Amino acid sequence: MTDTWLNETLYADWGQRFRIKRELARVQSDFQDIVIFESHTHGRVMTLDGVVQITEADEFVYQEMLAHVPLLAHGAARRVLIIGAGDGGVLRRVLQHNSVEQAVMVEIDGEVIRLSKEHLPRIGGIAWTDKRAEVIVGDGIDYVRRAADARFDAIIVDSTDPIGVGEVLFTDEFYRDCARILTERGVLVNQCGVPFMQADELRETSRRRAQFFPDVSAYVAAVPTYVGGFMTLGWSAKAPGLRHIPAETLRERAQAAGILTQCRYWTPQIHAAAFHLPPYIAEHLPG
């Protein structure tokens, strides 16, 4: 029997491939082509329009850095808004924080949620039934447009790239509303791609966010299946100083939040170091 491979289509002239053990789902939703398969190397994998979104083997890297960094930098986050993240991994990490009273997740594609619950149950886990969770199927830009001022302590955008349905989440209108619905010490983090291959994405989103947030920067995480080196996560804060919290304070906060022993990537030192960017990445940030 010939081997079947999934060749990622993110970059035209370069990419990764997975030998498929078993295909579990293939659905063309109203928004995108969803495929979930069992791989020989990374457990179960989900792709959207041919682009790797998540693998069971390395999702902890990205999800821990996307969820824990803004919440521990803030230090007392109670209400969190999550945009995208239909696999449920960010929701689970956010709800690990016992300070969180409410987590609202707005995912545009209900099929991503349905198929993730069915074929990637470990990713979202118990978060789907947590009474602090409110899961809404809808467009993130509509949700932030309608939300009340100063409603959230943190906004976490785990979206696809700025192509197709994800494009609106990289606009001035979206960032303006995010700034409006965050509290005074509010923080926005968003996936900004792999700058070695997607420098325009980081530069453009940073320039746009800097119009509405006094403190704009980025931090990095090494996600094996987001190929091309460091993945960048955009940082936008309404108050200065939140990205320079000493590692010892971060440790105390992680202990109090109940997550210190639950991490495989995030540590206080990794958190503090992640904001120290190599020049080939820092050069894309506003001066």
* Residue 158 annotated to the active site: yes
Restricted to residues 9-48, the positions that interact with ligand SAM (CB under 6 A) are 31, 48
Give yes or no for residue 166 binding ligand SAM (CB under 6 A).
yes
85 binds ligand SAM (CB under 6 A): yes
Contacting residue, 70, 84, 88, 268, with ligand SAM by CB under 6 A: 84
How many residues line the site for ligand SAM (CB under 6 A)?
26
DSSP secondary structure string, 56-119? TTTHHHHHHHHHHHHHHHHS---EEEEEE-TTSHHHHHHTT-TT--EEEEEES-HHHHHHHHHH
- Provide the 8-state DSSP code for 221: E
Contact indicator for 273, 244 with CB cutoff of 8 Å: no
3-state secondary structure of 43: coil
- Lay out the site mask for ligand SAM across 89-108 (x = CB under 6 A, - = otherwise): -----------------xxx
Smallest distance, ligand SAM to C-beta of residue 51, A:
7
Is 5:19 a contact under the CB 8 Å cutoff? yes
Q: Does 259 bind ligand SAM (CB under 6 A)?
A: no
Q: Which residue's CB is nearer to ligand SAM, number 107 or number 177? A: 107
If you count DSSP H runs as helices and E runs as strands, how many of each does the chain have, helices first? Answer: 10, 12
Check residue 234 for interaction with ligand SAM (CB under 6 A): no
The candidate with the shortest Cα–Cα distance to 237, out of 101, 88, 86, 75, is 75
Catalytic-role residue among 87, 139, 153, 158: 158
Tokens of residue 77, six digits: 């986050």
Binding site for ligand SAM (CB under 6 A): 31, 48, 53-54, 62, 83-87, 106-109, 112, 139-141, 158-160, 165-166, 168-169, 191
Q: Provide the annotated active-site residues.
A: 158
